[in-house]
Amino acid sequence: MKKFFMSVLILLVFLFAGCSVDKTETKAKDESTQTKIDNSLDKLPFFPITLDKFISGYNSTSGAVPIQEGKLMKLDNKGYYKDLLYEETKDSQLILRAIYGHDKKLRRISFLQKLPDDQILNDRGIAILNGTIHSLGIRANQLTDFLNSEETTGFFNENGYYVQITKISPGLFTLIIDKAAKN
């Protein structure tokens, strides 16, 4: 069961980052192939608000776990990220992250919570989700309906955002928010 869970977790981490991984088949490949840039994040539209505005709106939400802008870090050769909140214990993990393209422009907000049991979200995770969606003007009813359903993946558009939700037992929940594509 642990092997299955770890396999699913690894798969979702790659989904969470919103990118595919390029593998080199042999070391003999030419250097330009080995240093190929994965520009899938660059293809996402720019996020509709700045990170400062997101953080300000989030932190003004009643009951939200306070966040602050983290250090810009390289995301392999996929782009960059800033952890707004990162907590890890022996059995659990909680991440709220801003994800950037190679141009260092904000493209996505993502959330991941991994818990050691069948619980999908704990109170801290719910507070972070509420602060996140409230700061973006996304109504909570879409998220609540999904959490109360038997579905494991969900998608919806709201207030100019495209929201992807995944919950997998035991204890893994992801939320990815991009700018909604124009029709």
Range of the domain at 114: 2-179
The whole-angstrom separation of Cα 81 and Cα 107 is 10
Reported as a single tens digit per residue, the pLDDT across 33-83 is 444 556 788 889 999 999 999 999 999 987 778 998 989 999 888 899 999
Quote the number of domains for the chain. Answer: 1
Structure pTM? 0.76
Helix runs in the chain, H state only: 2-17, 31-34, 51-59, 123-135, 140-148
pLDDT of residue 118 exceeding 50, the answer is: yes
The mean pLDDT of 103-107, rounded to a whole number, is 95
